[in-house]
Amino acid sequence: MLSKPLTALKGVGPAKAKDFARLGVNTVYDLLTYLPRDYEDRSATKTIYEAEDAETVCIIATVFSPVTETRGYSGILKTEAELVDQTGKIMAVWFNAKWVKFNLHPGKWYMFYGKIKRYGSIKQIDNPLIEELGKLKSWRMIVPIYPLKPNFSQNKVRSMMIKAMEYIDQMPETLPEAVRRRFEVCDKNFAYHNIHFPKSFHDYEIARKRLVFEELFYLQMLLYGIKKQTRKSTAFVFDGKKASADFIAKLPFVLTGAQRRTVDEILADFASGTPANRLVQGDVGSGKTVIAAAAMAAAMQHGYTSAMMAPTEILAAQHYETLSKFFGSRASICLLVGSLTAAKKQKLQAEIAAGAYDIVVGTHALIQNKVEIPNLALVITDEQHRFGVMQRDAMEAKGNRPHTIVMSATPIPRTLALILYGDLDISVIDELPPGRKKIETYCIDEEKRERMYGFVRKQVDNGQQVYIVCPLVEESESAAIDMSALKNVTAYAQNLQTQVFPEYRVAFLHGRMKAEEKEEIMSRFKAGEIQILISTTVIEVGVDVPNANLMVIENAERFGLSQLHQLRGRVGRGSAQSYCVLMNQGTGEVAKKRMQVMCASNDGFLISQEDLKLRGPGDFFGVRQHGLPSMKIANLFTDTQILKLAQDAAQWITKTDPDLILPENEVLKAQIQRLSARIFL
Ligand code: ADP
Ligand code: MG
């Protein structure tokens, strides 16, 4: 039943099932694992007499007289009902809620949940939620609130969930009994019942603990699996001090202290006998590329080849250019990307295989899967977006355990990184090159749009360039893209081009364009031919155009703060003062606070910490980007106690049954295989 589509549930037709697909829910299993983001506490039931002004309460009352509907001048439908209980009378009022009339019947008893307003002696409850007494299987005091999309009601999800609840006992238990007993976590059945419809907050805590534990436990098990394979000896042991010092001496600038330290740490790895396995973490603009180059210079001097991988062609091309500038004629470098013609690609691959290049730059996909690189001693992964610990194995399996360095701008608290990665060494570049100016950041709303346009014109008239970013989630791994969203963005871009900025050279860039097209637009922007570049988040990582000094971000509230920070890092690379304007179309307090964080700070680390605090559990920053499964319920920042417990459990298992051969641990083995398959996709 679990793997069946929602239509297998009683009374669910294809239309409804299609609706749920918008939430990413296709099967009964998907639904049951679609977890609430919060709960409403309706245990605070009051009588009408007790309910006070401005209080959000739950009252139990009956409908006294027929429900009335009236339409005001503005066309808004107003529905009213008179409710009574033993202590008094209250008016319930709804706006534009056609469904109410069909669901409220005089004489019947309901539970109403909403905010009380008091006008003199008259009490009113606004837009209350309704639930008929005795209709639902059990009287629920704690009600789940699910994360939703527009035009989706909580009740729709709740009632669907109730239908699916009876199949919970079919969900396979994924934690062996011995683990559950030893680490005091409840079984799956209890957990899923009480995460959706907890009978008490105590039960909810127990349920949540189990689900968080499970996530973190498997995270640890996956990591142990990786560690077992790494840290053998490498064939590439060399002293790179002289070569890198020579390289650094020829640079047009002086390395910062943090850059120097990082280079030294990498050189020590090269000389140590075990393959380097290092995460170089530095805020945008901290100068990671030159560190990579210094490391490659060291490998090159000993006749070894290095590979540098980037997530996009634009980035790979940029690295190729930068490295060519750094090395001049001292190194032979090639660029291997998908947009080359088949013939060129073939020729290049043959040359690489014959050992013609010191440095191979390309996209992850191509380098990982398509080429043989002889003598490969060093693999550098830049701005790895969802490429990380898991992928480094794929590369290592290829050759003689090359040194691997991962460069990332996603800040992750050091303690946490150590828990997560354990054996991964970390270098932190905590210092920016001198002379960088703070990017002035402003948050505005629709009202100031015209002024924002004026500001854009002013920059362009001064000879600067501008990015305008609009949100369109572009998941590189999913072929399916929300076409209507793309249409909206395209229309928006067209309007800017033809109506708002007709006098300027404006171009539009998005992820669905052909690689050559993207490449061409980017290089025209770099050359200054394009003055205003409208773009989706494809420019998020690493692109370097020093003359661009203003970035406008539409619907900034939809982005994660770390992502905003990365985007913003595209400006502030030249000598002119740079600006970032966040258009906030959101209304909530949290949205406002998040925008304030962006305006106040340019420090990526601080921003990500604040983001975590404001965001709560869910998709923890970094974890996904570091190539690990995303967390559905665990919050790595606040669930440290359960994390510790999960670590103990994983350690206990690896000690007592390292290869998972005991019959009771079969479930573990199967689950780990399932999870790793998903990550390697
Ligand atoms: P990121 O860490 O974001 O990848 P980059 O490597 O792109 O940063 O460096 C950003 C810019 O700073 C580049 O133009 C680079 O040449 C320059 N840069 C790097 N290190 C220094 C330094 N020590 N002094 C001055 N400029 C530097
Ligand atoms: Mg970079």
Q: Which residues contact 660 (CB under 8 A, 6 or more apart)?
A: 653, 666, 668, 669, 672
The full length of the chain comes to 681
Domain-embedded: residue 192:
no
Q: Do the bridges between strand 277-282 and strand 425-429 make them parallel or antiparallel, or are there none, so unpaired?
A: parallel
pLDDT, tens only, 486-531: 677 888 889 999 999 999 999 998 877 887 788 789 889 989 999 9
Q: Is 385 in the pocket of ligand 1 (CB under 6 A)?
A: no
Is the model's pLDDT at 387 over the cut of 50? no
Domain-embedded: residue 335:
no
Give the distance (Å) from ligand 1 centre to CA of residue 560.
Answer: 24
Q: Give the pLDDT score at 614.
A: 66
State the average pLDDT over residues 105-109.
Answer: 90
CA 319 to chain centre: 25
Q: Which residue is it, tokens 């920042």?
A: 637
Q: Which residue is it, tokens 């047009």?
A: 252
Backbone angles phi, psi at 278, to 5 degrees: -125, 135
Most confident residue range from 309-318, 323-332, 588-597, 613-622? 323-332
Split at pLDDT 50, 70, 90, the class of 399 is low
pLDDT, tens only, 411-451: 665 556 655 555 677 888 888 888 778 899 999 988 999 99
Residue 8's CATH number: 1.10.150.20
Work out the number of other CB atoms within 10 angstroms of the CB of residue 13: 9
Q: Please tell me whether residues 73 and 166 are part of one structural domain.
A: no
Cα separation values, 161 from 11, 100, 164, 171, Å: 13, 22, 5, 15
Average pLDDT, the chain: 84
Is the model's pLDDT at 203 over the cut of 70? yes
Q: How far apart are CA 130 and CA 97, in angstroms?
A: 12
CB 335 within 8 A of CB 359: no
The residues that bridge with 282 in the sheet, in sequence order, are 429
Give the distance (Å) from ligand 2 centre to CA of residue 378.
Answer: 18
Q: Is 285 in the pocket of ligand 1 (CB under 6 A)?
A: yes
Task: Look at residue 461 and give its three-state secondary structure.
Answer: helix
Q: Please tell me whether residues 572 and 506 are part of one structural domain.
A: yes
Q: Please tell me whether residues 38 and 96 are part of one structural domain.
A: no
Q: Please tell me whether residues 108 and 156 are part of one structural domain.
A: no
Is the model's pLDDT at 478 over the cut of 50? no
Q: Please tell me whether residues 502 and 575 are part of one structural domain.
A: yes
State the average pLDDT over residues 142-159.
Answer: 86
Q: How far apart are CA 616 and CA 658, in angstroms?
A: 34
Backbone angles phi, psi at 433, to 5 degrees: -55, 150
State which of 262, 263, 280, 290 you would mutate to test the pocket of ligand 1, scoring each by most atoms of that ligand within 8 A of its C-beta: 290
Q: Please tell me whether residues 547 and 496 are part of one structural domain.
A: yes
Cα separation values, 229 from 222, 232, 233, 458, 567, Å: 11, 8, 11, 56, 35
Residue 610 token pair: 């604040």
Q: Is the dihedral of CA 157, 163, 165, 169 positive or negative?
A: negative
Q: Is 275 exposed, middle or buried (0-12, 13-18, 19+ CB in 10 A)?
A: buried
Domain-embedded: residue 285:
no
pLDDT, tens only, 191-202: 999 999 998 889
Is the model's pLDDT at 619 over the cut of 50? no
Q: Please tell me whether residues 131 and 155 are part of one structural domain.
A: no
Query: Which residues span the domain enclosing 519?
Result: 440-601
Split at pLDDT 50, 70, 90, the class of 624 is very low
User: What is the tally of structural domains in the chain?
Assistant: 3
Split at pLDDT 50, 70, 90, the class of 398 is low
State the average pLDDT over residues 4-32.
Answer: 92
Three-state DSSP string of 627-672: CCCCCCCCCCCCCHHHHHHHHHHHHHHHHHCCCCCCHHHHHHHHHH
Work out the number of other CB atoms within 10 angstroms of the CB of residue 21: 12
Q: Could you say which of 550, 568, 601 is where a domain stops?
A: 601
Nearest in space to 364 (alpha carbons), one of 258, 476, 474, 256: 476
Q: Please tell me whether residues 20 and 120 are part of one structural domain.
A: no
Residue 315 token pair: 């980035």
Protein residue whose Cα sits closest to atom 15 of ligand 1 = 287
Q: Is 288 in the pocket of ligand 1 (CB under 6 A)?
A: yes
State the average pLDDT over residues 339-343.
Answer: 87
Residue 370 token pair: 């398509």
Is the model's pLDDT at 56 over the cut of 90? no
Q: Residues of the chain with pLDDT > 70: what percent? A: 85
Ligand 1 atom having least distance to the Cα of 435? 25
